[in-house]
Amino acid sequence: MVLGVLAFAWDWSHERIAAAFAEDHGPGSLDDGELAALKMEGTRTAIAASCVGPSPAVAGDYPDWLDAPMARVFGDRRAEEGAALAQRAPVDLRVNTLKSDRAMVLEALEPIGPEIVDNLPNAIRLPAPDPAIRAQAPETFPAFPLGWFEIQDAGSQMAAVCAGEIVGKQVLDFCAGGGGKTLALAALMQNSGRIFAYDNDARRMKDLIPRAERAGVTILEVRVPMEREPFRGMEGAMDLVFVDAPCTGTGTWRRNPDAKWRLSPQQLERRMVEQDGVLDQAAIFVKPGGRMVYATCSLLAEENEDRVAAFLARTPGFSVRSVPFPQFATSDGYLRLTPLSAGTDGFFAALLVKAE
């Protein structure tokens, strides 16, 4: 399998492969049979011929049982969408406007070729490097410990922007996790107002406070489930509740390709139950006239449109508003991003407004 990848996916010559295998830390010199197979005329053609007419799941590199959910969302494009999720991902950065600007970060990272990202004035992209090259990590540059930027996929940044105008507002990040969107929301708030971060597993937030300190965030208040009343005074008081719901992570397969093969229908069912519960809990804190953003890094309608529709059916007073990225909006006004359509990880976001 390794030989096949090197020869037919990476286009290494058989001489280069043989030299690499024979190195001190290589797996050992190629035997005569392996060399003969690599040199054999027509080997590539034979492999290509054996792959004529694959099913969408095979062409898209995803499990067979996901073909119907993928078809529901993408139709005849599902193989293309799946294949795009199997490509090497770039590294996206969010310029931290509390401490820097895009020009400063572009100059600081100039040695590794940063690029501007369309649709986001504070996003920078480091293109995916050749897999055979060890790329320099952006965290090794002095600008990172100074808090000038955070590593955050452009899709995640766009989901945060769906929050709208929140300067001076009361904001709750209800599933804060590691805090990437918490910090993005704090920057959108311009350090004005107050942002609460909560997660039902406090261990996920262990790095949030040092990250916030590095980023210069001064309006953060962390709430943890071990407190007697973690939400005291917050019911019906939040201008915005951001729900980055637990999900299957199908939109992140570029970064976690093994996850697709561990995913099961039972796990999807469990996530859907969790998503319903999180939406119901989070809605309690939205004030009249306030907003709630429901976001996932999933491609599946079962975790996205279906969950929003079920929530609206059982929760009077909430309605959908269109997201601020019409070029990536669905017919229902939701945000849907994929590597193929937007060059980002897969993301979904719905903006819900509570009646006055």
Residue 4 banded pLDDT, cuts 50, 70, 90:
confident
Pairing of strands 149-151, 347-354: unpaired
Token digits for 122?
A: 């504070």
Given this model, what pLDDT does residue 262 score? Answer: 96
pLDDT > 90: percent of the chain = 82
The residue that leads in pLDDT, 130 or 234, is 234
Model pTM score: 0.87
* Class in CATH terms, 91-151: alpha beta
Q: Cα angle at 160 between 334 and 260, to 5 degrees?
A: 70
The residue among 245, 266, 263 whose CA lies nearest residue 310 is: 245
Neighbours of 149 (CB within 10 A): 27
Dist. CA 272–CA 256, nearest whole Å? 21
**Confidence check: pLDDT of 170 > 70:** yes
What is the SS3 assignment for 66-87? Answer: HHHHHHHHHHHHHHHHHHHCCC
For position 2, what pLDDT does the model report? 83
Q: In the prediction, which pLDDT does 36 show?
A: 82
- From CA 292, how far away is CA 269, in angstroms rounded? 23
Residue ranges in the chain assigned as alpha helix (H): 2-4, 14-22, 32-39, 43-50, 56-60, 67-74, 78-84, 102-108, 154-161, 180-188, 208-215, 259-262, 265-283, 305-314, 339-342
* Domain locations in the chain as residue ranges: 1-52, 57-84, 91-151, 154-354
DSSP letter (8 states) at residue 55: -
Of 41 and 2, the one with more pLDDT: 2
Fold classification of 154-354 is Rossmann fold (3.40.50)
Predicted confidence at residue 327, as pLDDT, reads: 96
> In the predicted model, is pLDDT for residue 40 greater than 80?
no
47 — pLDDT class (breaks 50, 70, 90): low
Q: Evaluate if residue 235 carries a pLDDT over 90.
A: yes
Model pLDDT, residue 49: 55
Joined together, the tokens standing for residue 106 give: 């572009």
Residue 239's alpha-carbon distances to 56, 158, 162, 235, in angstroms, are 44, 19, 14, 11
pLDDT digits (tens, 9 = 90+) for 149-166: 999 999 999 999 999 999
Catalytic residues: 297
Higher-pLDDT residue of 235, 54? 235
- What average pLDDT score do residues 109-131 get? 93
Higher pLDDT, 168 or 119: 168
pLDDT band at 237 (very low <50, low <70, confident <90, very high): very high
Q: Give the model's pLDDT for residue 54.
A: 81
pLDDT at site 50: 53
Which comes out higher in pLDDT, residue 43 or 82?
A: 82
Averaged pLDDT, 182-198: 98
Residue 193, pLDDT above cutoff 60: yes
What would the pLDDT profile of 280-335 be if each residue is shown by its tens digit? 999 999 999 999 999 999 999 999 999 999 999 999 999 999 999 999 999 999 99
Model pLDDT for residues 61-83, shown as the tens digit of each residue: 999 999 999 999 999 999 999 99
Backbone angles phi, psi at 136, to 5 degrees: -80, 130
- The 8-class DSSP code of residue 201 comes to S
179 with 155: CB under 8 angstroms?
A: no
Q: What is the pLDDT of residues 81-114, one digit of tens each?
A: 999 999 999 999 999 999 999 999 999 999 999 9
For residues 219-224, give the mean pLDDT: 97
Tell me the pLDDT of the chain averaged across its residues.
94
The dihedral built from the CA positions of residue 258, 264, 266 and 271, taken in this order, carries a sign that is: positive
